[in-house]
Amino acid sequence: MLNENICKANLSLSGLTCASCVRSVESTLNRLPGLVPSSIKVNLLMSNAVLEFEENQLSIDQIKQAILDAGFDVEDVKLEKKYEKPSLIQQPITIISNDPSTHDDKNAIRETITKLIVGGMTCASCVSAIQHSLDSLKGVIEAHVNLLTGEATIKHDLSQIGIRDLIQYVEDTGYEAELKKNQTNKKNSIRHRAEKEQKLLRTRFLLSLIFAIPTFLIEMVFKMILPSDNPLIKVISHQIIPGLEVGTLILFILATPVQFILGYPFYLKGFRSIWYSRQANMDTLVAIGTTVAYFSSILNVIIPIIHRDDKPGHQFFETSIFLMTFILLGRWLEAKVKGKTFETITKLMELQPDKATLITIIYDDDNNENIVEKEIDLDLVQVDDILKVTPGAKIPCDGKIFRGTTSLDESMLTGESIPVTKYVDDEVISATVNLSSMIWIKATRVGSDTTLSRIIELVQEAQSSKKAPIEALADRIAQIFVPVVISIAIVDFIIWISLGSAGKIPSDWIPDNQSYQIFSLFFAISVVVIACPCSMGLASPTAIMVGTGLAARFGILIKGGGEAIEMAFRLNTIAFDKTGTLTYGKPKVVETKILYEETKEAREKLLLQIIGVVESSSDHPLAKAVSQYISEQSSSEIVDSEKTTTSSNVTLESVTETPGRGLQAIVRINNAEALDLLPNEKPSSTYKVFIGNVKWLQENGCVYPSHVTKRKATFTLRKWQKVGYSVVLIGLLSQDSKGYILAQMGIADTPRPDAAKTVSELTARGFEVWMITGDNPVTAKTIANQIGIVNVLAEVTPEVKAEKIKWLQRKGVPVKPPNKFLQLFKRKNGQRRRAIVAMIGDGINDSPALAQSDLPISISTATDVAIESASIILTRSTLTSLITLVTLAKAIIRRIRYNFLWAYIYNSLAIPIAAGVFFPIFKIGLRPEIASLSMAVSSISVVLSSLWLKRFKEPKY
């Protein structure tokens, strides 16, 4: 059981610019008591931090303050409980009640937090009245009303009470209430943050440009182009006091606000990062570089003034101004390019409509319907609302068709362009398009609980998931990058100034009116501002952001982030579950054999009733198939589409499901025919029922009746198994009696039409493909032959499935040289390496194997537990998405490697060039302002490289 005090927080941050910033935040958070260190994940591209903490030791306000102290802003906070509620998890059935409603999906807890703005409160009594009214409502878990802010924060169960109901109850109390818009209207929150950052950086750049343009005119135009006797030059060169020119004073006035007002965020974040997190970042480098240029200029100006020297000192205030201007330009351009990487997620968000048409049905005295239509915000839609959807409109939320028939375009989810016809009670999914006729739908999932919202949430969470191993090197480098760069700059300055003082620098190397000290200092400043940890920090997140967005478009949800992508890249072995994965998972009973010696319709009908009631208690696909078959075959009231524990003649006392084996139940019979259920046994009203595979019935002592020979029974079973049927046996025993096998059923499950093509393609690409199933070896081999799988593990129970995955990992795969040329020189000594195994499953029984595998993959029709265990979810109904997954993963990892390679090459070459290593050869150096522009170009080029992934095309099969 997970600690109920553990909370998960997702904090939206601003001010993250490089990998060193990420390290600063992580280092700051790691020092907070009560925070789970392994849970801290800070994402540069998403500008967010995801973490877990203990509520009784640490508050969210303390976390926010720590981040603020480190120099970064917290824009938004999303909190949720870490522990899971048992009602949301499908567990094996042990005891079931007689109330069929307990299995209803509506009983699943769907907690959410709603904030209302409440008007009209004047005192503590108002607060007490509203809070008491809310606390008394069914479905409200907790309510808090704040008089000062005029807000009510309500934690409630969406399946029991919706937002409109809460507003109505507050208004009934006598106060005004409305939904706090910025809470749920988060459709464009990511885009809004990106646009806000771009706008801020653009404003700062344009402001710096106001100071840079006159500086450029004075230094690069007037002084270089105009003759010395020009009146303007004379004014600029006029000395106010000895050693201080008018032009110098103007540049000082222009440089100071740029340095300390526009540059203030660099100082704040750069030095707070050092003070609070003991980590220097990119802002530290910018602050140091511009500060050195600014104060060195002041020093050069002050010295001649003190000595009352008529020859003014060499100032370079323009370097400080141009440095800041080019850095802000680079940051703005980088933010604009980074914003492109969010496009896939924001396009997903835009699929959801903003409004919905609410239908209210009012009956008059003559029972005639009066329909009232009202357009409401999508945020106000509640579970069980009736909504009208016109042709061409999008479905506003998940639901079921209440009235009408139509065709829907579900391509946004399934990738299938063919319209799907929907009838009354058929499920519809949010954001799919109504094509043909007007329908009414009944809302079943709303707000953040809809399919589309969960897809968006998964894609966003993928960005903050565990990092890929390839990112570990970048993190280690980022940790020492800034200190190393500063050390290189200091050493570089010492070397050049030593050469200058020793007279080793030729005079033609140093520009006119410049001392060797300034000449040396420029090299050091260039080193500081050209180094770019940003490019390394963006190399992986940008590629992962674009890649996961693309994957979502192709029906692949990557929950595991960078680690899952790298596992897919390194993958070499794939294990499939059979039922529901390689097959449709919708088996049908095609053969039935009742094993009584004499045919008695009433007795056989009662036996079918018993089987139907017991099987209806299980969610296993084979159990559902049997339950459905009996329901169709029988004309009496046995089992409907809902689960039940009783029929007219049979009452289910208890049932236990053993995964991989079958069901064991106790039933009570209210029928005289029960006297004849077991051959040659004393009559009883209570029976034990065993339904499952051959081994399960043998373990429980069930045998065939004496008139059924073993050869005859085995022949039938073998015949069914050879054509791919799964066999289910039914056994009964009463107290103190022998158990008898009284029926056997052959169940067929059709393989997915693309399964054989997928397996063939995977095999051709060098993957080792396995099928792991609990079915018998004969049936398993038959299905495997139809699909083209050679390696089969049959009769594997759920707990053993995980052991088989571990065995596959240990068994390994042959070590192959990276290319065919090296294979010629490689000795064939049978070396093997650990296999990277993916498990594809869909049921509760697959969850141990999914957890053991290196890459757990589930399909969209899987149970909640299987989806929770998976790192990747395939939302389309086709297995060929696996081919897309491995192809895309290779493209993403290759792009990450290219990005890292470029970032390392850039810094490896740029720093020596800026340091003047090649100056003696080429006589060309980088001025600091040009170096700062080069730094921005490096980051932008990495982001543009990641955006190249958008050209990826889904493989054709």
Do 903 and 790 lie in one domain? The reply is no
Quickly state the pLDDT bin for 618 (edges 50, 70, 90): confident
- Determine how β-strand 140-146 pairs with β-strand 73-81: unpaired
- Cα dist from 157 to 1, 79, 86, 217, 383, whole Å: 22, 16, 15, 66, 10
For the chain, how many structural domains are there in total? 6
Of 39-53, 81-95, 361-375, 431-445, the poorest mean pLDDT is in 81-95
**CATH number for the domain that contains residue 434:** 2.70.150.10
- The residues annotated with a catalytic role in the active site are 577
Per-residue model confidence (pLDDT) at position 936:
76
Per-residue model confidence (pLDDT) at position 387:
92
Do 228 and 289 lie in one domain? The reply is yes
Do 544 and 524 lie in one domain? The reply is yes
Q: Which residue has the higher pLDDT, 929 or 863?
A: 929
Quickly state the pLDDT bin for 887 (edges 50, 70, 90): very high
Please give the average per-residue pLDDT across 840-856, as a whole number.
82
Of 168-177, 745-754, 826-835, the poorest mean pLDDT is in 826-835
Quickly state the pLDDT bin for 673 (edges 50, 70, 90): low
- Cα dist from 810 to 805, 814, 832, whole Å: 9, 12, 10
Of 83, 113, 136, which residue constitutes the final position of a domain? 83
**CATH number for the domain that contains residue 63:** 3.30.70.100
Do 215 and 291 lie in one domain? The reply is yes
Per-residue model confidence (pLDDT) at position 415:
57
Q: Is residue 286 part of a domain?
A: yes
Enumerate the β-bridge partners of residue 873: 557, 858
Instruction: Report the run of H or E that residue 212 belongs to, with start and end.
Output: helix 189-216
Do 258 and 290 lie in one domain? The reply is yes
Per-residue model confidence (pLDDT) at position 208:
92
Please give the average per-residue pLDDT across 868-883, as a whole number.
83
> What Rg do the C-alpha atoms of the chain give, in angstroms?
36
Q: Is residue 138 part of a domain?
A: no
Q: Is residue 172 part of a domain?
A: no
Alpha-carbon gap, residue 398 to 387, rounded angstroms: 11
Which is nearest to 255 in space by CA: 327, 181, 343, 319? 319
Please give the average per-residue pLDDT across 612-621, as a whole number.
84
Q: Which residue has the tokens 């080019």?
A: 326
Query: If you average pLDDT over every residue of the chain, what do you get?
Result: 80
Q: Residue 807 pLDDT > 90, yes or no?
A: yes
Q: Residue 95 pLDDT > 60, yes or no?
A: no
Q: Which residue has the higher pLDDT, 458 or 492?
A: 492
Per-residue model confidence (pLDDT) at position 441:
92
**Backbone phi, then psi, for 72, in 5-degree steps?**
-125, 150
Per-residue model confidence (pLDDT) at position 471:
67
Quickly state the pLDDT bin for 830 (edges 50, 70, 90): low
pLDDT digits (tens, 9 = 90+) for 387-423: 999 888 889 889 999 989 988 887 766 655 668 888 8
Q: Which residue has the higher pLDDT, 15 or 577?
A: 577
Assign 363 to helix, strand or coil.
Answer: strand
Per-residue model confidence (pLDDT) at position 839:
92
Domain that holds residue 36: 1-83
Left (φ > 0), alpha (ψ -120 to 50) or beta: where does 503 sit? left
Quickly state the pLDDT bin for 861 (edges 50, 70, 90): low
Of 14-28, 139-153, 468-482, 935-949, the poorest mean pLDDT is in 468-482
Do 796 and 707 lie in one domain? The reply is no
Quickly state the pLDDT bin for 674 (edges 50, 70, 90): low
Q: Is residue 824 part of a domain?
A: yes
Q: Residue 530 pLDDT > 80, yes or no?
A: yes
Per-residue model confidence (pLDDT) at position 609:
87
Q: Is residue 184 part of a domain?
A: no
Q: Which residue has the higher pLDDT, 218 or 342?
A: 218
Quickly state the pLDDT bin for 84 (edges 50, 70, 90): very low
What percentage of residues in the chain have a pLDDT greater than 70? Answer: 85
Which is nearest to 255 in space by CA: 265, 263, 246? 263
Q: Is residue 822 part of a domain?
A: yes
Alpha-carbon gap, residue 447 to 243, rounded angstroms: 70
Do 446 and 564 lie in one domain? The reply is no
Q: Is residue 431 part of a domain?
A: yes
Of 340, 361, 388, which residue constitutes the final position of a domain? 340
Quickly state the pLDDT bin for 86 (edges 50, 70, 90): very low
pLDDT digits (tens, 9 = 90+) for 637-668: 444 434 444 566 788 888 888 877 889 999 88
Q: Is residue 165 part of a domain?
A: no
- Assigned token pair, 131: 């809070």
Which is nearest to 54 in space by CA: 89, 73, 88, 81? 81
Q: Which residue has the higher pLDDT, 892 or 558?
A: 892
Do 628 and 744 lie in one domain? The reply is yes
Quickly state the pLDDT bin for 888 (edges 50, 70, 90): very high
Q: Which residue has the higher pLDDT, 223 or 784?
A: 784
Q: Which residue has the higher pLDDT, 75 or 757?
A: 757
Quickly state the pLDDT bin for 843 (edges 50, 70, 90): low
Q: Residue 452 pLDDT > 50, yes or no?
A: yes
Alpha-carbon gap, residue 955 to 957, rounded angstroms: 6
Per-residue model confidence (pLDDT) at position 163:
85
Alpha-carbon gap, residue 68 to 57, rounded angstroms: 20
Which is nearest to 108 in space by CA: 83, 84, 88? 88
Do 478 and 603 lie in one domain? The reply is no
Per-residue model confidence (pLDDT) at position 183:
43
What percentage of residues in the chain have a pLDDT greater than 90? Answer: 12
Do 761 and 829 lie in one domain? The reply is yes
Of 423, 439, 460, which residue constitutes the final position of a domain? 460
Per-residue model confidence (pLDDT) at position 790:
92
pLDDT digits (tens, 9 = 90+) for 578-605: 888 888 877 888 888 888 877 777 788 8
| Burial of 399 per CB tally in 10 Å (0-12, 13-18, 19+) | buried
Q: Residue 853 pLDDT > 80, yes or no?
A: yes
Per-residue model confidence (pLDDT) at position 17:
74
Do 866 and 938 lie in one domain? The reply is no
- Assigned token pair, 773: 């199933």
**CATH number for the domain that contains residue 845:** 3.40.50.1000
Do 332 and 415 lie in one domain? The reply is no
Quickly state the pLDDT bin for 691 (edges 50, 70, 90): very high
